[in-house]
């Protein structure tokens, strides 16, 4: 099969690919970062490249939907709609290499420090003719307990040399009650773990001192799997349809975690060899892919996962580069769509220990909702879509420099951007803020449609920003700062926000109604994730994401998935609680709720009046 070499700028990376394949596939196979929310279906318009040299196709009809005539004339194309005919060079457009702001903070509850990994320092008597017991029994005698039969082979192999080269002064590493490693000299102070939150959109890792319980450093990145779709179902489809799909996506997230561990070690000036455990929280599909467990059972009804219980595996078995005695603890999940990230959040909130009626809501690409009652914890999952994270929005982007994060509209528009840079797009909080402000001023009606003026109507000053000429109807937030034109919200964007809002609200209403609980009965609402940390509550109120009775009861938990993983590193009791909680959660399937489709439709409307 003929091959062609494609050079991608500004990375200056080359990819050799078969003629007839598309540019996006060539980039993905060579781990070149090109954003593709729809995984090559031609619907998102994000995989922008610009032709530099070599063959250039005529524009595909999908490209006319996303790229202006002027840009097409300069060689701008969609990578997923550009066919490789021979060697060529393309410039990757649209944010490659940007630093993104990813939520890593969270509320840490009180707990008793009792990590799974501990160390013991021994100064052993040297063997003599009178005292010639074997090395393992010498250690057992000093410890006062048996360790034989439980030692990993690599520890036994190291033991003779390590003892004799260090005057029989060694540090033993224990995982639970099992000795898993031996180190020369006294290394008691070098004892670390890493907590990892594998999200659909982002991956966050925290370095934790297992002796003190302190968080030493935090690092994060955009999930490397994003080029195969922004949602888990698109990635699941890729795994099913491609022979090496599971291996590739698993390798990508493991490679990303290893990169984060390297960054943490560099920041804290420690060695990878002194990290002994990694605790991982993730949604169920992400957990399966991370462990390279085929998620085929999650692809269709009844959505059965291969596992939900907590798992502890060797770090080397999943390719994580830490101590050779290191392990990976994966928190338990509940079901196919209630993952260990939600269990981690419930550990952090502590609501399972309380008798108060409390909601836990984690809103991302999927919305998970858990309600604590005197009869147990009940949970549901709803497909919110990525609009709240700035995805599937015409000018949407991830939270990085130049992203609009706050919007204020009175007679005119005022904007705040990340890094105080010129506005180039809208991140999730900016999208929600903009829609909330448009509802406030009446530019968007409760049906979600833009207001239309008749001839002779008195028009407010902002009316000039409503455009209904060429292209879709849109409200222009700023003009001229964006490299590809204006930053605006279109009618389709508002619809995407409505769908996300409707999913969350209908999930809350269906869950509470199923259990016979009134909104006034709910005493507290825990909101997890970036959704709650960077969004103004008044914008949520105007949109009606939550019933207005709940707004004053909201507590923001931040990244509770990461914090829950940290707790499982630092406290065996919290680790046991995670399994206890997972076993107590009852999953409710929303599709089985009577007239759910009608409820969802009713929840799409924005409040007719501004909530108090």
The residue to which tokens 């969270």 are assigned = 106
Q: Do 546 and 581 have their domain in common?
A: yes
For every residue of 132-197, DSSP letters joined together read ---HHHHHHHHHTS--TT---HHHHHHHHHHHHHTTTEEEEEEETTEEEEEEES--TT--EEEEEE
Structural domain for 256, as ranges? 192-330
* Separation between Cα atoms, residue 214 and residue 65, nearest integer Å: 51
pLDDT computed for residue 550 by the predictor:
86
Would residue 167 count as lying in a domain? yes
Q: Do 431 and 515 have their domain in common?
A: no
Q: Do 370 and 398 have their domain in common?
A: no
Decide: helix, strand or coil at residue 434.
helix
Would residue 610 count as lying in a domain? no
Query: What's the average pLDDT block by block, 10 residues per block, for the chain (612 residues)?
Result: 76 77 79 67 78 84 81 85 86 56 55 94 95 94 86 91 96 94 95 95 92 92 84 89 93 95 95 97 96 93 94 96 96 95 92 85 85 91 79 79 89 89 87 93 93 84 82 82 68 92 93 92 85 73 86 82 95 96 92 91 83 38
* Separation between Cα atoms, residue 392 and residue 489, nearest integer Å: 12
Q: Do 28 and 139 have their domain in common?
A: no
> Which residues contact residue 386 at a Cβ distance below 8 angstroms, ignoring those fewer than 6 apart?
37, 201, 230, 231, 364, 365, 392
As given in the structure block, the two tokens for residue 211 are 């002796």
Would residue 457 count as lying in a domain? yes
As given in the structure block, the two tokens for residue 115 are 């990590």
pLDDT computed for residue 602 by the predictor:
94
* Separation between Cα atoms, residue 513 and residue 304, nearest integer Å: 26
- Among 164, 184, 204, the domain boundary falls at 184
Would residue 463 count as lying in a domain? yes
Would residue 362 count as lying in a domain? yes
Q: What is the CATH number for 56? A: 3.10.20.30
* Separation between Cα atoms, residue 215 and residue 512, nearest integer Å: 37
Q: Do 233 and 306 have their domain in common?
A: yes
* Separation between Cα atoms, residue 209 and residue 122, nearest integer Å: 21
* Separation between Cα atoms, residue 571 and residue 261, nearest integer Å: 21
Let me know if 594 is exposed, middle or buried by CB neighbors in 10 A (0-12, 13-18, 19+). exposed
Total of domains in the chain = 5
pLDDT computed for residue 353 by the predictor:
78
pLDDT computed for residue 482 by the predictor:
41
For residue 30, how far is the Cα from the chain centroid? 23
Q: Do 377 and 393 have their domain in common?
A: no
Would residue 335 count as lying in a domain? no
Q: Do 217 and 326 have their domain in common?
A: yes
Q: Do 362 and 312 have their domain in common?
A: no
Q: Do 211 and 313 have their domain in common?
A: yes
Given a contact cutoff of 8 angstroms between Cβ atoms, the answer to whether 538 and 321 are in contact is no
- Among 24, 57, 92, the domain boundary falls at 92
Q: Do 284 and 396 have their domain in common?
A: no
* Separation between Cα atoms, residue 575 and residue 329, nearest integer Å: 10
Q: What is the CATH number for 164? A: 3.10.20.880
Would residue 231 count as lying in a domain? yes
pLDDT computed for residue 307 by the predictor:
97
* Separation between Cα atoms, residue 219 and residue 464, nearest integer Å: 43
Given a contact cutoff of 8 angstroms between Cβ atoms, the answer to whether 182 and 159 are in contact is yes
pLDDT computed for residue 11 by the predictor:
67
Would residue 102 count as lying in a domain? no
Q: Do 53 and 180 have their domain in common?
A: no
Q: Has this prediction a pTM greater than 0.75?
A: yes
């Amino acid at each position: 099969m003929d091959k062609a070499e494609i050079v991608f700028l500004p990375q200056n990376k080359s990819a050799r690919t078969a003629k007839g394949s598309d540019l996006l596939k060539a980039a993905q196979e060579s781990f070149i970062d090109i954003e593709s929310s729809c995984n090559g279906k031609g619907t998102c318009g994000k995989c922008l490249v610009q032709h530099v040299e070599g063959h250039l196709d005529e524009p595909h009809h999908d490209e006319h939907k996303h790229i202006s005539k002027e840009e097409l004339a300069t060689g701008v194309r969609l990578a997923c709609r550009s066919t490789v005919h021979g060697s060529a060079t393309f410039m990757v457009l649209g944010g490659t290499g940007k630093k993104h702001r990813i939520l890593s903070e969270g509320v840490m509850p009180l707990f008793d420090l009792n990590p799974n990994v501990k160390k013991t320092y021994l100064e052993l008597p040297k063997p003599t003719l009178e005292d010639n017991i074997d090395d393992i029994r010498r250690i057992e005698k000093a410890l006062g307990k048996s360790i034989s039969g439980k030692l990993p082979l690599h520890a036994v192999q190291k033991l003779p040399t390590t003892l004799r080269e260090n005057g029989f002064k060694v540090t033993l590493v224990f995982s639970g009650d099992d000795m898993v490693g031996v180190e020369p000299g006294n290394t008691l102070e070098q004892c670390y773990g890493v907590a990892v939150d594998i999200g659909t959109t982002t991956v966050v890792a925290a370095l934790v001192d297992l002796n003190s319980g302190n968080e030493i450093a935090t690092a994060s990145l955009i999930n490397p799997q994003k080029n195969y779709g922004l949602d888990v179902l698109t990635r699941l489809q890729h795994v099913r349809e491609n022979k090496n799909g599971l291996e590739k996506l698993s390798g990508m997230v493991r490679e990303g975690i290893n990169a984060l561990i390297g960054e943490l070690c560099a920041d804290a000036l420690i060695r990878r060899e002194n990290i002994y455990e990694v605790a991982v929280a993730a949604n169920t599909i992400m957990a399966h892919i991370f462990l390279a467990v085929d998620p085929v059972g999650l692809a269709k009804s009844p959505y059965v996962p291969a596992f939900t219980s907590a798992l502890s595996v060797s770090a080397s078995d999943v390719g994580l580069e830490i101590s050779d005695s290191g392990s990976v603890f994966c928190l338990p999940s509940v079901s196919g769509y209630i993952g260990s990230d939600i269990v981690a959040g419930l550990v952090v909130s502590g609501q399972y220990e309380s008798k108060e009626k409390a909601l836990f809501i984690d809103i991302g690409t999927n919305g998970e909702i858990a309600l604590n009652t005197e009869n147990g914890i009940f949970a549901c999952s709803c497909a919110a879509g990525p609009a709240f994270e700035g995805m599937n929005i015409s000018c949407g982007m991830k939270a990085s420099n130049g992203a609009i994060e706050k919007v204020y509209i009175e007679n005119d528009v005022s904007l705040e951007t990340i890094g105080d840079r010129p506005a180039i797009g809208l991140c999730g909080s900016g999208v929600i803020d903009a829609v909330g402000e448009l509802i406030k001023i009446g530019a968007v009606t409760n049906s979600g449609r833009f207001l239309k003026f008749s001839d002779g109507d008195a028009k407010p000053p902002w009316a000039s920003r409503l455009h209904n000429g060429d292209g879709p109807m849109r409200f222009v937030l700023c003009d001229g700062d964006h490299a590809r034109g204006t930053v605006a919200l279109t009618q389709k964007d508002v619809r995407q926000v409505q769908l996300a809002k409707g999913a969350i609200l209908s999930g809350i209403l269906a869950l509470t109604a199923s259990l016979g609980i009134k909104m006034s009965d709910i005493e507290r609402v825990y909101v997890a994730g970036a959704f709650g940390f960077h969004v103004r509550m008044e914008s949520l109120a105007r949109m009606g994401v939550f019933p207005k009775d709940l707004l004053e009861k909201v507590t923001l938990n931040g990244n509770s998935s990461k914090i829950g993983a940290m707790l499982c590193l630092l406290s065996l009791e919290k680790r046991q609680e995670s399994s206890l909680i997972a076993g107590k959660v009852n999953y409710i399937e929303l599709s089985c709720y009577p007239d759910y489709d009608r409820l969802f439709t009713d929840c799409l409307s924005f409040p007719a009046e501004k909530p108090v």
